[in-house]
């Protein structure tokens, strides 16, 4: 006997839908006793054997859009749709393995409905029993637990699916333990994901190449491990051949022990996700390429481990970046900015993008400042900040602007070297951003002309993990800000 779950978002003040003509939605909704106030957004009511069919055992899930839905517009309305659909998907998942097809009334907002459904259905597990076994050694990925389709197909739904699956890819990469997701296997997974995508070139450089380029700060971090470092480039060519590219740079520390400045053992396993910057920019690039957006995009991710081996960086060591600046390593646990320094200089000078955005799980200070709700953004460009803010609001993958101010600079200029890789506890995320700024070429105005490059640094140290579930995300690695980055590029491509 076949069975389908139908999910229908409902405005509790006006419960109506034409999605399934045989259903009297108003009568169905009112069949369940309710209190004096309308059900909160996400409240889901399950009706069995509905709609009734001879050879099927269907269920219908009605999900409340909240009592203020009719008053909402724009981005706020989209988020209510995501919450309603995501909550309903979670309820449907609880019905068990006998149900795997889900039809959604996505008519209110197809994109938001698709995003919520696919994010809510995601579950990472390395358990060896059950229908969704993941076998990383063979490259076998588990089948999707639920198959979704809209009751009325649309391009917006298809786009939402791409956004969500890209975020789920980043979630998986961040969840995989460091013995499985090494720098080498990360690059192999990326190549496999892009294998059938048009207009893409993948380049993987080794340590010898990085040494030849003078990437001493990047290579200094990998000295404590036997795991080979990699320097990954993704080139998507969707724009005119001579058009300036957009560039993403992602921090790719596949495991961060802190090095000689060893981290506390409690929760150190979370540092398998310290390559979250690399995961998010690569996943966003996959979505951008799958959508065939009319832009040229360069993605650069330095990948390595930070371990306390006998050759590891020591506090007080001085290294010289690709741009010649000397850096004192005051704390070996501030390694992300070291690998990003060379990557940012390389990307900004070799490819000369008009916009460069880096994503990194960079500082514990950012988690203290913003928690897991917002990702912090430091930018040299007001217009870039505003575009990121708008994209983040549209996808509810939100950003908060942080100060990028030279008055913090003395904190990282307190050594005999040009720069120190830490500036102490005060404003730790701000001093880290200032450190990175020193390696981005093109952000200074010259000869009375505007800067040739807009740059933004996104610190995702807080938003990398969800410690409490939301209506469409479970706890665990979040894959943020994949959707916001894709939406940012989509909007930029339309200008």
Catalytically active residues are 263, 337
In angstroms, how far apart are the furthest CA atoms of the chain?
Answer: 81
Q: Quote the distance between the C-alpha of residue 125 and its chain's center.
A: 19
Roughly how many angstroms between the first and final C-alpha of the chain, as a whole number? Answer: 51
Q: Which two tokens stand for residue 394?
A: 């549209």
Query: CB within 8 A of 282, min separation 6: which ones?
Result: 170, 173, 190, 193, 232, 234, 250, 299, 301
- Distance between CA atoms of residues 348 and 152, nearest Å: 44
- Distance between CA atoms of residues 194 and 283, nearest Å: 10
Compute the Cα dihedral for 94, 95, 101, 105 and give only its sign: negative
- Distance between CA atoms of residues 485 and 456, nearest Å: 12
- Distance between CA atoms of residues 466 and 480, nearest Å: 10
- Distance between CA atoms of residues 384 and 390, nearest Å: 10
**Burial per residue of 250-289, b for 16 or more beta-carbon CB atoms within 10 angstroms, e otherwise:** bbbbbbbbbbbbebeeeeeeebbbbbbbbbbbbbbbbbbb
Beta-sheet pairing, 375-379 with 399-401:
parallel
- Distance between CA atoms of residues 333 and 201, nearest Å: 33
């Amino acid at each position: 006997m076949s069975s389908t779950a139908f999910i229908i978002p409902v405005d509790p003040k006006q419960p109506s839908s034409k999605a399934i003509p045989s259903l009297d939605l108003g009568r169905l909704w009112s069949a369940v006793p309710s209190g004096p106030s309308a059900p909160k957004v996400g409240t889901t009511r399950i009706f069995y054997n509905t709609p009734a069919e001879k050879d099927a055992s269907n269920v219908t899930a009605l999900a409340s859009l909240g009592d203020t839905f009719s008053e909402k517009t724009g981005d706020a309305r989209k988020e209510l749709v995501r919450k309603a659909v995501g909550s309903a998907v979670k309820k449907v998942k609880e019905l068990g393995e006998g149900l795997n097809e889900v039809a959604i009334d996505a008519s209110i907002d197809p994109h938001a409905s698709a995003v919520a459904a696919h994010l809510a259905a995601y579950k990472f597990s390395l358990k060896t029993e059950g229908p969704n076994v993941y076998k990383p050694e063979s490259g076998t990925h588990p089948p999707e637990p639920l198959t979704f389709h809209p009751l009325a197909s649309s391009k917006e739904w298809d786009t939402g699916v791409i956004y969500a699956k890209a975020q789920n890819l980043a979630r998986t990469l961040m969840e995989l333990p460091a013995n499985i997701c090494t720098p080498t296997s990360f690059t192999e997974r990326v190549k496999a994901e892009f294998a059938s995508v048009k207009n893409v070139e993948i380049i993987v450089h080794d340590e010898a190449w990085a040494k030849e380029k003078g990437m001493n700060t990047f290579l200094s971090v990998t000295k404590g491990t036997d795991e080979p470092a990699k320097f990954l480039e993704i080139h998507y060519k969707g724009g005119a051949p001579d058009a300036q590219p957009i560039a993403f740079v992602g921090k790719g520390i596949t495991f961060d022990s802190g090095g000689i400045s060893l981290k506390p053992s409690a929760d150190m396993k979370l540092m398998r996700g310290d390559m979250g910057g690399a995961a998010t920019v690569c996943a966003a690039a996959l979505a951008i390429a799958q959508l065939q957006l009319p832009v040229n995009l360069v993605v650069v991710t330095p990948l390595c481990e930070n371990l306390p081996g006998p050759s590891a960086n020591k506090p007080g060591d001085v290294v010289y970046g690709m741009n010649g600046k000397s850096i004192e390593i005051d704390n070996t646990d501030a390694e992300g900015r070291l690998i990003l320094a060379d990557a940012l200089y390389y990307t900004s000078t070799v490819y000369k993008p008009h916009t460069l955005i880096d994503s990194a799980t960079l500082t514990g200070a950012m988690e203290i400042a913003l928690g897991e709700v917002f990702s912090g953004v430091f930018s040299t460009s007001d217009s870039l900040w505003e575009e990121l803010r708008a994209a983040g609001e549209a996808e509810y993958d939100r950003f908060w602007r942080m100060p990028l101010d030279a008055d913090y600079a003395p904190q990282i200029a307190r050594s005999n070297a040009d720069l120190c890789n830490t500036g102490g506890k005060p404003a730790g995320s701000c001093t880290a951003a200032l450190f990175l700024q020193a390696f981005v070429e093109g952000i200074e105005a010259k000869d009375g002309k505007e800067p040739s490059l807009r740059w933004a640094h996104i610190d995702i140290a807080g938003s990398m993990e969800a410690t409490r579930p939301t209506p469409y995300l479970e706890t665990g690695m979040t894959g943020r800000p994949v959707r916001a980055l894709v939406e940012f590029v989509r909007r930029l491509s339309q200008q």
